Amino acid sequence: MNIENLKTFITLSELKNFTQTADRYFIVQSTVTNRIMELEKELGKKLFIRNRKNVELTEEGQHFLAYAKRIVALEASAIEELSMLHTFSENLRIGTVNTVYDCYLIDPITAFVKNHKDISVKVIVDHTGPLLRMLQDGTVDVAFCYAPLKKAGFICKPFMSDDLLLVTSPDHTEHIDGITQSQLAEIGYLYCDFIVHDNGTFIRDLFPKNFAFSFEIDKLTHLPHYLMEGIGYTFLPRSLVQPYLDNGSLISIPLKGFEAPEVQSFVIIPEGKADVLSIERFLQVLPQENAQKEAQEDFLNA
């Protein structure tokens, strides 16, 4: 399967425009058309629905897109490892969700890089779903996610647990004494879709069916900025908002008649890499407390 055809397919699925896709690769539009036709012929399936105004993925195209991305990522990973083969003693690829990275991993990774110059480090920040696929494909060596991987061949341990708090600007005093679930739809909620362990739909399920949020974003760590500007309310992990609560730039709103679940993150590695020196050394750099210490000891003794 031609890798350039796959890359062109991925780009066209994102841009939904043949001309823009051709411009991205500095090729003519007919080359884009030919690459897609070659790929469709090889798969025996139509990947796009074309009309004068739009280009949309077919059902088969949507299904194939995830595989195409994984194939391209595997090729890039192989080339990267080969190029580093005689430069570094080992390569460590860390995958993490954004919030865990910002709250728990920046300092350990910084310390690791400073003290292990013979090991190349690559950090990939993404959502839980893609990170779990990368882990299974072998394009990351260790992953920090908001969902466990219950699959043979992988070691999955709790990493950190966190309270989930409803927070807002101190300028919003209407619900300073507490808020009920029915009142959430009236407060201008800032929505971010992230997995809460054992109940991934917790936040959306608090609102009426098909509720339209006035603001959505895909990274939790970007939300405090909007809150401090006086825009709305949102649920965030305590570890992320504690500094803002301490300095008074945000406040926590008590919940009346319902509770927010704990946010649980996990650290996951393939069983075959449990004794890889770079991974062992990295786990040793993690803070020695709570679930992290237990997870580290379990890994090292696996």
pLDDT tens digits, residue range 68-79?
Answer: 888 888 887 777
Q: Could you give the CA distance from residue 242 to residue 231 in angstroms, rounded to a whole number?
A: 19
| Predicted pLDDT at 204 | 82
Task: Say yes or no to pLDDT of 299 above 60.
Answer: no
| Predicted pLDDT at 275 | 81
Task: Say yes or no to pLDDT of 65 above 80.
Answer: yes
Pairing of strands 251-252, 164-168: antiparallel
| Local confidence band at 297 (pLDDT 50, 70, 90 cut-offs) | low
**b/e sequence 121-146, b meaning 16+ C-beta within 10 Å:** beebbbbbebbbbbbbeebbbbbbbb
Of 3.40.50.920, 1.10.10.1800, 1.10.10.10, 1.10.287.130, the CATH number of 3-79 is: 1.10.10.10
- Domain 88-155+265-300, CATH 3.40.190.10 — does that match? yes
Q: Is 138 helix (H, G, I), strand (E, B) or coil?
A: coil
Q: Could you give the CA distance from residue 228 to residue 181 in angstroms, rounded to a whole number?
A: 23
Question: Which ranges constitute the DSSP H helices of the chain?
Answer: 3-15, 18-25, 29-43, 59-84, 98-100, 106-115, 128-137, 202-205, 223-228, 238-246, 277-285, 290-300
Task: Say yes or no to pLDDT of 202 above 80.
Answer: no
More reliable by pLDDT, 275 or 248 = 248
pLDDT in tens, 153-171: 999 999 988 889 999 999 9
Instruction: State residue 270 phi and psi, 5-degree precision.
Output: -65, 145
Q: Could you give the CA distance from residue 247 to residue 186 in angstroms, rounded to a whole number?
A: 27
What mean pLDDT is reported for the chain? 86
Pairing of strands 90-96, 142-145: parallel
Q: Could you give the CA distance from residue 288 to residue 295 in angstroms, rounded to a whole number?
A: 10
| Predicted pLDDT at 147 | 87
Task: Say yes or no to pLDDT of 200 above 70.
Answer: no
Q: Do domains 88-155+265-300 and 164-261 have the same CATH topology?
A: yes
Tally of residues, the chain: 302
H/E segment holding residue 197: none
| Predicted pLDDT at 289 | 47
| Local confidence band at 248 (pLDDT 50, 70, 90 cut-offs) | very high
Task: Say yes or no to pLDDT of 286 above 50.
Answer: yes
Mean pLDDT of 86-95: 82
In the chain, where are the structural domains located?
Answer: 3-79, 88-155+265-300, 164-261
Provide CB contacts within 8 A for 195, sequence distance 6+: 128, 145, 146, 147
Fold of 164-261: D-Maltodextrin-Binding Protein; domain 2 (3.40.190)
| Predicted pLDDT at 142 | 94
| Local confidence band at 222 (pLDDT 50, 70, 90 cut-offs) | very high
Residues above pLDDT 70, as percent of the chain: 90
Q: pTM, whole model, 2 decimals?
A: 0.69
Mean pLDDT of 181-189: 92
247, 221 contact by CB (below 8 A): no
DSSP string, 230-262: T--EEEEEHHHHHHHHHTTSSEEPPEES--PPP
pLDDT in tens, 249-258: 999 999 999 9
pLDDT in tens, 99-151: 899 989 999 999 999 999 889 899 999 888 889 988 988 889 999 998 888 88
More reliable by pLDDT, 61 or 195 = 61
| Predicted pLDDT at 291 | 43
